[in-house]
Amino acid sequence: MDTQTKPVAVVTGGRQGLGRGCARALAERGFDLVIVDLHHDDTARETVASLEKSGARAAFLQGDIARIEGHADLAQAAWNAFGRIDCLVNNAGVAPVALSDVLTITPEAFDRNLGINLRGNMFFAQAVGRLMTGAEASEAYRSMVFITSIAANHVSVAIPEYCVSKAGLSMVAGLFALTLARHGIQVHEVRPGFIRTAMTTEGEGAPTDAIEAHIAAGEVPMNRWGEEADVGRTVAMLASGDLPFSVAHPVFVDGGYGIHTA
């Protein structure tokens, strides 16, 4: 494929975890990549190198999604990297700093989580959406993908701010879907389940044991952890236009965890 005509995807929080899985899968489907992340470190450089090894052009932009005042410049830099944006993957997100419930959570903890997971993603999508809608009409498939979570519709009392942020982001996906459809930009939502990432397996408070218990109890019908690539391949499918008459409806990547049973 001519590199000048390859589609370009921007992945926020793309240095590791789900974002890295999305970027790698998109590269395999023929996309060039712009990675946006808070940290430009060895992990980020390794991710970019792996994308380039797979044949993609890859650029890294250091940026803080929580800093809305910097969104316009960051979005423009992402556009300028390869002269276009065909897909934005709104993946950046953080876990709660500590476990709490609605009786003990602090406003500071709530604001930090929503400032990134909800507010940051919404307004960065706005900045990129303005560039996409302002560009000349293209025959290329254009899309946005919002990475939410099964926490958007499963109440988990120990992480209230995360649940609220993901439920809110699901609504944001719907709002963008109805707004951008007339511009030929399809918006999708992906809801991952228990995925093996640094967020779920490393550090104090990681829910590793709880997730292992869910799997052992048979609550995940596929009887395994999800992997970065499971989410990545789903996102790449959507970004490639493989569901051409679908918008906004959540696509669950949860091994069947969310299936309602009698």
Residue 197 lies in a domain: yes
Render pLDDT for 14-30 as a digit per residue (tens, 0 to 9): 999 999 999 999 999 99
What is the predicted pLDDT for the residue at 236? 98
Q: Taking CA 77 as the corner, what is the angle to CA 141 and CA 121, rounded to the nearest 5 degrees?
A: 70
pLDDT greater than 80 at residue 147: yes
Domain contains 258: no
1 pLDDT above the threshold of 50:
no
Band (200; pLDDT cuts 50, 70, 90): confident
Residue 115 lies in a domain: yes
Nearest CA to 95 out of 80, 112, 77, 71 is that of: 112
In a domain, 146, yes or no: yes
Sign of the CA dihedral with 148 first, then 150, 153, and 157 last: negative
Instruction: Specify if 137 maps to a domain.
Output: yes
Whole-angstrom distance, CA of residue 136 vs CA of residue 248: 24
This model's pTM is above 0.85: yes
Q: Is residue 259 part of a domain?
A: no
Provide the number of structural domains found in the chain: 1
Flag whether 123 is in a domain.
yes
* pLDDT at site 205: 62
Q: What is the CATH number of the domain that holds 161?
A: 3.40.50.720
Domain span at residue 144 reads 8-251
